[in-house]
A and B are shown apart, each in its own frame.
Chain A
Amino acid sequence: MTERAYDMTIGLEVHVELLTQSKMFCRCSTRFGDPPNTNVCPVCMGFPGSLPVPNLEAVKLGVRAALGLGAKVNLSSGFDRKNYFYPDLTKGYQITQYRTPLGQDGFIEIAEPRKKIRIRRVHLEEDTGKSIHAGDDITTADYTLIDFNRSGVPLIEIVSEPDMNSPEEARQYLEKLQRILRFAGVSDVKMEEGSMRVDCNISVTPKGSDRRGTPVEIKNLSSFRAVVKALSYEFDRQVAALEAGESILRETRHWDEAKERTHPMRTKESSEDYRYFPEPDLPLLVLEEAFIEEVRRTMPRLPDEIVAYYKEKLGLPEYDAQVLTLDPNLSSFFDRCVEQGADPKMAANWIMGDILGYMNRQGLTYEQIPVSPENLVEMLGLIASGAISGKIAKDVLVKVIETGRKPSVIVKEEGLTQVSDEGELLAIIEEVIAANPGPVQDVKNGKEKAIGFLVGQVMKATKGRANPAKVNIMLKEKILS
């Protein structure tokens, strides 16, 4: 990527499906995965004579999103019609918010570089149906199958200002946006499931030029990685074109994941005149300050707030606080452990290390944390009291996950209790000393490190159950005294 001679300017438009039970303008279920065209009614199917009635929960979640993104919530906002023809758009128009959005002038702060990406608007709209192209791919398909279950599902659209200057910044913006919206309980925000969709705009200018480049829109991005790759590709393409003296066409391009390149889209969507006008079937959406305050008061805590709390009140380092707030399921798991008396740092270490490690190996998602807070807390208690060693605890954890039995039960049944009793240990220590004259002599000669080997032998002999700290002290006493 030719970074030196050219600047890139990136804006992102993100569509997010809201976590409501029913649709934006009718009471059909938003449940995912039902057989095609089974969650539909005259309203979302655009049958003649039907009328829209908006969903209160969608408005609440929209307000939450706006608040979470630091945006001003407009007390009065309107719905507009965006008119265009496409088979998955049932009315021939989409009800959206064009003139006055629900929220505006927010921001997302990214870390590297530390900067604020401004958010121009957050608005409500309805989703379209879903098209499935029969045949191998879109170019050979004869017909398209349409499922309207998704038609009318509530969406918010979040439009950033073109404040990002690298694909990396774009990725950070998306990750932070995802975290905020997940913690706010607004959406699942999963690109792989379609509850988060990203379109980008990128323009390129020679460094130092104050003229904005021509923005090109990129669609069909199915992951954050694809966003980064597409932006890099597009930057290179535009730079090459500019170097060759060509001008950049203002167009919409399609990202081809397989071929890892963009190409112009076949439809003329970008030159469409949407003939926006205020939706005559819907009066203005007027919100009271009290309503907004209630939403603010009852919304879940956001990641930045939780990170600050973990650092300031629980004394956790920045890194731990960030990892624990990658996902609301994780932080709420941690919170419950702390509520039940676990030491925050211990709990954090075990979650970040063994538990997440296990989850990664098994391909579990954050919704599938494999151990209960109760069991983790009990196990941490057993370590703290010396009942088991840290090393044994690792195995116990796996057994808790795989059998569901309580840690104390496993320790008891399998006789894993740490041996700290000097009487018990003495016998084994004397055996080990007797069996390893060489290392013993090393220790006597001042090679303190040889102790490690002898401790290891005691651990082996006790099948790991010996208290290693105690063993260490007792060995030293026995050998050096």
Chain B
Amino acid sequence: MKIDVRHVADLAKLKLTEDELVAMEKDLEMILAHIERLAGVQVEGVEPTFGSREPEALRLQGDDPRPGCSRASMLELAPSSKDGYYVVPARESEGRE
């Protein structure tokens, strides 16, 4: 199974060096070779399971607003903030205009 590791790394927003990409491709292919066994299982007409069996249906909560976290406590954890806002670089990346 050939995996486009560059594409997957881009989707996952992980920067990998050339060596890391090569190693990753090898690891993933090894794992997928094992997981390929699943292709042989008979699943015709079987419904998928995605989560809990109980509760079966969502509980919905009321609309009354409640105070959350104080801004100060959260901005303490912020890597960069200004005047109560979070700050991030504006451009996508270096050199792209």
Q: List chain A positions with a Cβ less than 8 A from chain B.
A: 20-22, 26-31, 35-42, 44-45, 53-59, 85, 87, 132-135, 138-139, 141-148, 266-267, 273, 275, 277-278, 280-286
Contacts and interface: CB of A to CB of B under 8 A. Distances in A.
A128 to B, nearest CB: 13
Interface in B49-79: 50-52, 55-66, 68-69, 71, 74-75
A146 B74 contact: no
B85 A36 contact: yes
Contact of B61 (A28, A55, A275): A55
A145 B51 CA distance: 37
A145 B83 CA distance: 9
Nearest to A59: B60
A23 to B, nearest CB: 8
Contacts of B59: 53
In the A-B complex, list the 6 residue pairs whose CB atoms are closest, starting with the nearest: A41-B68, A145-B85, A56-B60, A286-B57, A57-B63, A29-B65
A54 B91 CA distance: 34
B71 A147 contact: no
Contacts of B69: 40-42, 45
B50 A280 contact: yes
B11 interface: yes
Interface residues of B, number: 35
A283 B55 contact: yes
Contact of A27 (B52, B66, B87): B66
Contact of A36 (B66, B84, B88): B84
B14 to A, nearest CB: 11
Contacts, number: 125
Interface of B: 11, 13, 50-52, 55-66, 68-69, 71, 74-75, 82-92, 96-97
Contacts of A54: 58, 60-61
Given A55-B60, A85-B13, A283 B51 contact: yes
Contacts of B63: 20-22, 55-58
A283 B56 contact: yes
A44 to B, nearest CB: 8
Contact of B71 (A37, A145, A267, A278): A37
A281 B60 CA distance: 13
15 contacts: A21-B63, A21-B65, A29-B65, A37-B74, A37-B75, A37-B85, A39-B68, A54-B58, A56-B60, A85-B13, A87-B86, A133-B90, A145-B85, A280-B51, A283-B57
B86 A143 contact: no
A153 to B, nearest CB: 12
Contacts of B64: 21-22, 27
A20 B60 CA distance: 14
A37 B82 CA distance: 11
A278 B51 contact: yes
Contact of A286 (B56, B75, B87): B56
A438 B75 CA distance: 87
A340 to B, nearest CB: 33
Contacts of A135: 90
Contacts of B58: 54, 282-286
A80 to B, nearest CB: 10
A283 B85 contact: no
Contacts of A21: 63-65
Contacts of A273: 11
A161 to B, nearest CB: 29
A142 B13 CA distance: 21
A138 B96 CA distance: 13
Contacts of A143: 87-90
A40 B97 CA distance: 33
A17 B5 CA distance: 39
Given A40-B69, A278-B50, A282-B58, A141 B90 contact: yes
